[in-house]
Structure 1
Amino acid sequence: MRLALIEQLVMRLPTGVRSFLEIGPGMGDTSLYLSQCFPEADGTLLDFSDDCMDILRQRTANKSRLRLMTGDFMGMTREKHYDLIVACEVLEHIRDDKAALGIISELLSPGGYFIFSAPAFMRKWQHVDEYAGHYRRYERAELIEKFTASGLHIDTLWCFGFPITQLLYPLRELYYGMSRRRQHLSKEDATKRSGIERPLIGRTRAILLAHLLRPFYFLQNCVKHTDLGDGFLVLAQKGRPA
């Protein structure tokens, strides 16, 4: 559901993207898509999970322009800059998200773009948030304030997930409520797991599911400017120096 809207945001980007960084790429779906959209761009996929890296090595083996890096982006040097940075479902795992946004702004080239997604609305806090090691869900005004303070100007702010998240809510609450009682992981270990774990659907069924969800993409698109979903998707741009 998120990637269906990311495709629309990517269409708004200039064709001259030459470098991108994805922080917390999970199984690499977004970076693989970006490598198709910008075949001349060099992409860097950064994660601190060894299990994630094992999956990414397999999925990017024939993509010579995609580079894998293991580590925490909060400690990255600021020497290299990127035309585009992507962080989907990442900042809610970081205690000091204001510092994280500041680092992302420093890593962007002047005029560079940032695609971001995160769970929305603290009133929708669920067992899955505890299971995944989240610190927060975001509010619309909060995002605008934090992005602006970091020199990131929001161009697009959409809500995604409707109506699938509402339909699946009872099942997810039951599953993750039971799983939460069985797990004893730190937030860091839960974060490492969350990007690649797909307990409710196997990877082999993902393509079929994507086709089955097409009617819901249309419904989601109709209400993306409202607060009906349970996730935010943002396209922001780093302000150029005066």
Structure 2
Amino acid sequence: MTVRTGAPAAPLTPRAALRWPLIKRAVRRAQPGTIVEIGCGQGAMGARLVGLTREYVAVEPDPTSYRVACERIEPRGGTVVNGLTDDLPAGRTYDMACAFEVLEHLEDDAGALRDWAPRIRPGGHLVLSVPAWQHMFGPWDKAVGHYRRYSPDDLAGTLRDNGFEPVDISLYGWPLAFALEAIRNRVADGSPIQEESAPEQTAHSGRWLQPSKRISDVGITVGILPFQALQRIVPKKGNGIVAVARRV
């Protein structure tokens, strides 16, 4: 696969920018030759992952987000499929699967992990992110179709019970993500999206409050740097989790 590294990457949200260093570190340590991203949304993270592997494939069920993801990922050499993991070639496995802000949207999270495991070669890795701490479940979670949030121990147990051995489970986001969450809860409280069905909310979540312009990327990248440094200093505080697990 030829990667067009000159193609501009899509802007990350501030929260995604906070978790990106943890994700990048996990991918570089594992050095996967092939990656599948499950639920790539509008492709902002995928546009970065393409440059860290030989072959990158993503699946995205929402047609609107899929079209944006194609525009962002495919010029860089990746492939995006409008569908689910079942729509990938039968029997195909990957060195790594990634699922960012996906698991909390699935009513049967254990079943999803069992479904994902056969897509990863034995000994390969799963990298995922989820919101942390059920006591923080608020208007934003409800509006975007979350079923739950996780503690590090809860997530580790769910992974162990469904085909994976946790390698690293890290909190991220202190202190900025707490302020961002308060803002998101205020925006979501009373929003019409609260009245949508869970599948509609999930589809909407990949598009809501997403930056779209290159200038946004520059501003977020520069502005987030001191907060990326702060969260490294306080690694045991945060309202988000990035987890790395190995397929048993």
| TM-score exceeds 0.5 | yes
User: SS at 2:190's partner residue?
Assistant: helix
Contact 1:78 1:107 in 2 (8 A): no
Task: For residue 61 of structure 1, report the CA deviation from its aligned partner.
Answer: 3.7
Show the counterpart of 1:21. Answer: 36
Does the alignment pair 1:56 with 2:69? yes
CA distance in 2, matches of 1:213, 1:166: 14
User: SS at 2:36's partner residue?
Assistant: strand
Task: For residue 196 of structure 1, report the CA deviation from its aligned partner.
Answer: 2.5
Show the counterpart of 2:56. Answer: 43
User: SS at 1:83's partner residue?
Assistant: strand
Task: For residue 202 of structure 1, report the CA deviation from its aligned partner.
Answer: 5.0
Show the counterpart of 1:131. Answer: 143
Q: Aligned letter for 2:81?
A: M
Alignment of 1:157-172 (within 5 A): 157-172=169-184
Structure 2 unaligned runs (5+)? 1-17
Once structures 1 and 2 are overlaid, which stretch shifts more, 93-102 or 137-146?
A: 137-146
Task: For residue 203 of structure 1, report the CA deviation from its aligned partner.
Answer: 3.8
Contact 2:43 2:70 in 1 (8 A): no
Show the counterpart of 2:99. Answer: 87
TM-align CA RMSD: 1.8
CA distance in 2, matches of 1:42, 1:161: 30
CA distance in 2, matches of 1:102, 1:21: 16
Alignment of 1:3-14 (within 5 A): 3-14=20-31
CA distance in 2, matches of 1:6, 1:133: 24
Alignment of 1:138-217 (within 5 A): 138-179=150-191, 181=192, 183-198=194-209, 201=211, 203-204=213-214, 205-217=216-228
Identity of aligned residues (%): 25
Contact 2:100 2:129 in 1 (8 A): yes
Show the counterpart of 2:80. Answer: 68
Does the alignment pair 1:223 with 2:234? yes
Q: Aligned letter for 1:37?
A: L
Deviations 1:116-156 (A, max 9, x none): 11011111111110111011001222111111112211111
CA distance in 2, matches of 1:188, 1:52: 14
Matched residue count: 230
CA distance in 2, matches of 1:183, 1:45: 28
CA distance in 2, matches of 1:77, 1:138: 32
Provide the TM-score with structure 2 as the length reference: 0.86
User: SS at 1:104's partner residue?
Assistant: helix
Show the counterpart of 1:237. Answer: 246
Contact 2:143 2:193 in 1 (8 A): no
Distance 1:78 1:118, change over 3 A: farther
User: SS at 2:195's partner residue?
Assistant: coil
Q: Aligned letter for 1:138?
A: Y
Show the counterpart of 2:9. Answer: none
Contact 1:153 1:236 in 2 (8 A): yes
Task: For residue 78 of structure 1, report the CA deviation from its aligned partner.
Answer: 5.0
CA distance in 1, matches of 2:51, 2:149: 31
Q: Aligned letter for 1:46?
A: V
Distance 1:231 1:182, change over 3 A: closer
CA distance in 2, matches of 1:211, 1:79: 42
Task: For residue 74 of structure 1, report the CA deviation from its aligned partner.
Answer: 6.0
